[in-house]
Amino acid sequence: MLPVLAVSGGDIWLMSTPFGRRGFFYQTWMQRGLDWRRIKVPATECPRILPANLARDRVTMGDRWFRQEYMCEFAENQEQLFPEELIRKAINYDIDPLFTEPRP
């Protein structure tokens, strides 16, 4: 996909609902580079979708899926054993390595 753009000078349009905090769409959205324009339109801002239908779907789908599909939120992956925030808190980059030279 990208080599074609290098030749043509074209544009990429990514249109999707979030599907967890993973993949190309998530990484591209979160990098916040100047090359990308982000447009986010939650269902609550769409006048064609009735509030009663949103309320029904929130109950039917559950809050996590509703926020992902209708509110454009990158929800945590359900396959994860530990929440991402907890994993990030456990990482410490200030720890010195045990070995400074390659081991035999």
Q: What is the pLDDT of residues 69-82, one digit of tens each?
A: 999 998 877 667 77
Residue 10 lies in a domain: yes
Domain count, the chain: 1
pLDDT of residue 103: 63
Between 53 and 93, the higher pLDDT residue? 53
Residue 97 lies in a domain: no
pTM of the model: 0.63
Range of the domain at 16: 2-90
Residue 100 lies in a domain: no
Residue 39 lies in a domain: yes
Picking from 66, 25, 77, the residue whose alpha carbon sits closest to that of residue 44 is 66
The 8-class DSSP code of residue 82 comes to S
Residue 98 lies in a domain: no
Q: What is the pLDDT of residues 25-43, one digit of tens each?
A: 888 888 877 778 889 999 9
